[in-house]
Amino acid sequence: MAMLSAALLSIALYRLTLMTVAHVANTASRAAFAGRLIEVVPSARIVRVSGSWQAFVVVMTLSSDRDRQ
């Protein structure tokens, strides 16, 4: 029974790791897209990229950094 529990826990941790890596990669690609969009449209202040609040925050940061330069 203990081996079964350990195996199930191992599988759950593996799946959680894969899901986390996929989420980070997805967020990074959206943020990169948002950064390119701001370069193309320099007057853009805040751009929302398909539902990812992390990309939204990155875009806001990129906009304010560009204003300081």
- DSSP string across 6-58: HHHHHHHHHHHHHHHHHHHHHHHHHHHHHHHHHHHSTT------TT-HHHHHH
pLDDT for 5 beyond 70:
yes
Range of the domain at 67: 43-69
Is residue 51 domain-resident? yes
Q: Once rounded to an integer, what is the mean pLDDT over residues 40-52?
A: 51
Is residue 9 domain-resident? no
Is residue 13 domain-resident? no
pLDDT in tens, 8-17: 778 787 777 7
What pTM did the predictor assign?
A: 0.35
Q: How many distinct structural domains can be found in the chain?
A: 1
pLDDT for 65 beyond 70:
no
Is residue 31 domain-resident? no
Q: Once rounded to an integer, what is the mean pLDDT over residues 22-40?
A: 64
Is residue 33 domain-resident? no
Which pLDDT score is estimated for 15? 74
